[in-house]
Amino acid sequence: MRYATTIIIGAGQSGLSMSKHLTARSIDHVLLERGQVANSWRTERWDSLRLLTPNWQTRLPGYGYAGDDPDGFMTKSEVISFLQQYADVSAAPVLRETRVLRVRQEEHGYQVSTNLGIWRCQKLVIASGACNVASVPSLSAAFPPAVISLSLLQYKNPDQLPNGGVLIVGASASGIQLAREIQASGRPVVLSVGEHVRMPRTYRGRDIQWWMNAIGAMDVRYDSMEDIERARRLPSPQLIGTPERVTVDLNSLRQAGVRLVGRIVGVHDGAVQFSGSLANICALADLKMNRLLSAIDEWVKSNGLIDELAVPPYRPAATDIGPDTELSVNLMAAGIGSVIWATGYRPDYSWLDVPVVDRKGRIQHDGGVVAAPGMYVMGLPFMRRRKSSFIDGAGDDAADLAAHLNQNLTRAAA
Amino acid sequence: MRTIDNSAATAVNNGVNVEALLSAREALGNAPEAAQFKWRASCVWLNGTHSRSTIGNFFGLTAEQARDKTFTVEADHPQVFAAEDNAPTPVEIVLSGLASCLTAGVAAVAQRRGIQLHKVTALLEAEMDIQGILGMDDDVRNGFGAIRVHFDILADASEDEIKALVAQSQKRSAVFDIITNPTNVFVTVN
């Protein structure tokens, strides 16, 4: 049985950032990685995916993008290289191909069983990501068996799909990206739209992430939010990273020929039923987007930036869903042979044999400090800050949690 | 435990006890079984298309909730349907249910957001092709083709803030959900 003071599960941006901070504090640790560094990026994302944040914002403690395209968006393979290089440069003690099978509590810490033997540790950092399992609603089981069903973890590119129509369920970042490329592949897309967050890629000449960062939105702390659970449940914004910095929204998708329908609510006799609430869902998203743009305009004014910006305030056109949104689509009649569930992800804690997960499958934590002694979690949506699940958020969270971890070590020794 | 800033909310009064609603939400978060409600109505045929529904007790917070009175709602059909027009049609009562639900929501959300309301009126219109209910064309549904709701709201708020009230009210409305989404209906007879 081997021992490390701290075990970090996962060698992605969160685990590597924590490793960097633990090294700086001379706290011995290992990272247990089920595959290779950046494993989710290597094996569980679609081919065309690029980061939603610009290159300049792709930064980790003591490390950042050094190329000549700070406003570009990294491809999947560039993200993998970036994280691998960071692991190499920071000499992170990563144990590859080491899959955690079970974690249980012991008197002074945790016992971590892996496919390569048992470890013990005093402190445990769960940095295995927020996107291990594709969330697929239970009504997917009611689809006719002839319809091919893919989750976000299974979809790679349009060539996987049969010719003919495709139903995409979900219109957050993943759903709109897939709708765009699948419609462009010649397969007519029906896009089922639930609650979503609308954002233009650029506003007044700057990237929306630049603005979010500038106005302080990304640094908003979890304990300053009135309803943090709601903030944590918010779907990812409708953004895509492309070299052309295009905005993809429901208007542009509809112009490209995508048929917009409401949230999926049932399947009956080969027909899929959709909610009649789409108009309001879009009104909510438009209003919320405009509040963000107003906050940006206010910030510009109060920081005296007006002269620097050539572009005066403007508002993207309101979402136009057309006059006759379909409430039901017969899959056979519409020639739809496949459905993609772009309905989000959730973390997998099936290996965690410590009672810290609630009835909804959420780990109980206070800003990443889990409700079990010496246990931490990282990289979850709005965990400590709005940016917690972003690459750029890993550093600040790791600094805070490493300080907390260290404080407790000191106390234990005293 | 988070504190909620009511400094703005206490300045306005729309007659909604937001604090009670918020503490109910907090309490139910720890006891989801108490959130299971059952709403009821009974209906008796009077004559022709005229009927009277009676509404009284309901179930919620893990117990029967007795009201100190019961309510009645009558329904009938108009003379163009060769009926006596003793009361509104059931579909008009559905419209009134939607209107009341959304209006109550506007008041509650406004109170929560510290917005003083002065006037809220809603005008509803629903399209219906009665070839459906007359059994003339199976491709025509019985119910509404579409419902249009127009709100006229006077409040101490910007235009977008008022739009957001109405949008949030729809988002949290039971009747809006009942109408926009399918519901299984089980009917038995003895």
What ipTM was estimated for this complex?
0.83
Structure token pair of residue A305: 């930036």
H-run or E-run covering A358: none
How many C-alpha atoms does A314 have within 13 Å on its Cβ side?
11
Q: Give the per-residue pLDDT at A41.
A: 87
pLDDT digits (tens, 9 = 90+) for A47-101: 999 999 999 999 999 999 999 999 999 999 999 999 999 999 999 999 999 999 9
**Residue B30: CB atoms within 10 Å:** 7
Residue % of chain B over a pLDDT of 90: 78
> In Å, what is the CA distance from B125 to each residue of A92, B96, B106, B117, B144?
66, 10, 19, 24, 10
Do B182 and A273 meet the contact criterion of CB atoms below 8 Å apart? yes
pTM for the full model? Answer: 0.91
Q: Locate the chain A residue with the closest alpha carbon to B175.
A: A277
Cα-Cα-Cα-Cα dihedral sign, residues A236, A320, A165, A75: negative
Asked if residue B126 has pLDDT above 50, the reply is: yes
Q: Give the per-residue pLDDT at A105.
A: 96
Q: Give the per-residue pLDDT at A121.
A: 96
* Whole-angstrom distance, CA of residue A267 vs CA of residue A252: 28
Structure token pair of residue B65: 């909730």
Place of tokens 């559905």: B94
Q: Give the per-residue pLDDT at B27.
A: 79
Confidence of residue A162 (pLDDT cuts 50, 70, 90): very high
Packed helices A13-24 and A391-413: angle between N→C axes, nearest 10 degrees: 40
* Whole-angstrom distance, CA of residue B117 vs CA of residue B16: 11
> In Å, what is the CA distance from A336 to each residue of A28, A193, B19, B75?
55, 17, 49, 44
d(CA A338, nearest CA chain B) in Å: 23
* Whole-angstrom distance, CA of residue A102 vs CA of residue A304: 55
Test A228 with B168 for CB contact under 8 angstroms. no
β A2-9/A29-32 pair status? parallel
CB crowding A108-134: b at 16 or more within 10 Å, else e: ebbbbbbeeeebebbbbbbbbbbbbbb
Test A273 with B182 for CB contact under 8 angstroms. yes
CA angle B27, A228, A171 (to 5 degrees): 115
- CA torsion, points A201, A206, A209, A211, in degrees to nearest 10? -130
pLDDT digits (tens, 9 = 90+) for A223-240: 999 899 999 999 999 999
Asked if residue A411 has pLDDT above 80, the reply is: no
Q: Give the per-residue pLDDT at B5.
A: 45
Test A280 with B171 for CB contact under 8 angstroms. yes
* Whole-angstrom distance, CA of residue B61 vs CA of residue B37: 7
Q: Give the per-residue pLDDT at A275.
A: 96
* Rg for chain A, CA atoms, rounded: 22
Interface of B with A in 142-171 (CB under 8 A): 160, 163-164, 167-168, 170-171
Any CB–CB contact under 8 A between A55 and chain B? no
Asked if residue B153 has pLDDT above 70, the reply is: yes
Most confident segment among A129-143, A178-192, A302-316, A348-362? A178-192
Residue % of chain B over a pLDDT of 70: 95
Asked if residue B2 has pLDDT above 70, the reply is: no
Interface of A with B in 246-305 (CB under 8 A): 262, 265-266, 268, 273, 275-277, 280, 283-284, 287, 290-291
Of the candidates A141, A183, A42, the residue with the CA atom closest to the CA atom of residue A341: A141
**Partner residue opposite B180 with nearest CB, options A228, A275, A290:** A275
Q: What does pLDDT average to over chain A?
A: 94
**Residue A393: CB atoms within 10 Å:** 26
Task: Report which residue type is found at A366.
Answer: D
Residue B134: which residues within 8 A CB-CB, separation 6 or more?
Answer: none
Write phi, then psi, for A252 (nearest 5 degrees).
-70, -35
First to last CA, chain B: 51
Write phi, then psi, for B177 (nearest 5 degrees).
-65, -45
Confidence of residue A38 (pLDDT cuts 50, 70, 90): confident
Confidence of residue B66 (pLDDT cuts 50, 70, 90): very high
Q: Give the per-residue pLDDT at A222.
A: 96
Q: Where does residue B146 fall: left (phi above 0), alpha (psi -120 to 50 degrees), or beta otherwise?
A: beta
Any CB–CB contact under 8 A between B176 and chain A? yes
> In Å, what is the CA distance from A191 to each residue of A168, A213, A232, B45?
5, 31, 24, 45
The whole-number average pLDDT for the span B144-171 is 97
Residue % of chain A over a pLDDT of 70: 99
> In Å, what is the CA distance from B147 to each residue of B4, B28, B126, B178?
36, 33, 4, 13
SS3 B120: strand
Out of A61-75, A161-175, A256-270, A397-411, pick the least confident. Answer: A397-411
Q: Give the per-residue pLDDT at A410.
A: 53
Confidence of residue B4 (pLDDT cuts 50, 70, 90): very low
Structure token pair of residue A331: 């899959």
Structure token pair of residue A403: 């300080």
H-run or E-run covering B44: strand B42-47
Q: Locate the chain B residue with the closest alpha carbon to A366.
A: B1
Asked if residue A324 has pLDDT above 50, the reply is: yes
* Whole-angstrom distance, CA of residue A32 vs CA of residue A111: 13
Residue % of chain A over a pLDDT of 90: 90
Do A345 and A152 meet the contact criterion of CB atoms below 8 Å apart? yes
β A94-95/A29-32 pair status? parallel
Structure token pair of residue A188: 């007519």
d(CA B177, nearest CA chain A) in Å: 8
Structure token pair of residue A285: 């998203």
Of the candidates A52, A65, A46, A41, the residue with the CA atom closest to the CA atom of residue A246: A52
Interface test with B, best of A222, A277, A289, A324 (most B CBs within 10 A): A277
CB crowding B34-52: b at 16 or more within 10 Å, else e: eeeeeeeeeeeeeeebbbb
Asked if residue B20 has pLDDT above 90, the reply is: no
Q: Give the per-residue pLDDT at A210.
A: 95
The whole-number average pLDDT for the span A364-393 is 96
Out of A307-311, A410-414, B68-72, pick the least confident. Answer: A410-414
* Whole-angstrom distance, CA of residue A344 vs CA of residue A134: 6
Query: Which of the 8 DSSP states describes residue B149?
Result: E
Structure token pair of residue A172: 């957050």
Any CB–CB contact under 8 A between A356 and chain B? no
Q: Locate the chain A residue with the closest alpha carbon to B148.
A: A279
SS3 B148: strand
Residue A344: which residues within 8 A CB-CB, separation 6 or more?
Answer: A134, A135, A152, A170, A172, A235
Q: Give the per-residue pLDDT at B30.
A: 78
SS3 A383: coil
Q: Give the per-residue pLDDT at B10.
A: 53
Cβ neighbourhood burial of B171 (10 Å; 0-12, 13-18, 19+)? middle
SS3 A3: strand
Confidence of residue B12 (pLDDT cuts 50, 70, 90): confident
Confidence of residue B56 (pLDDT cuts 50, 70, 90): very high
Show residues of chain B in contact with A284, CB under 8 Å: 164, 167-168, 171
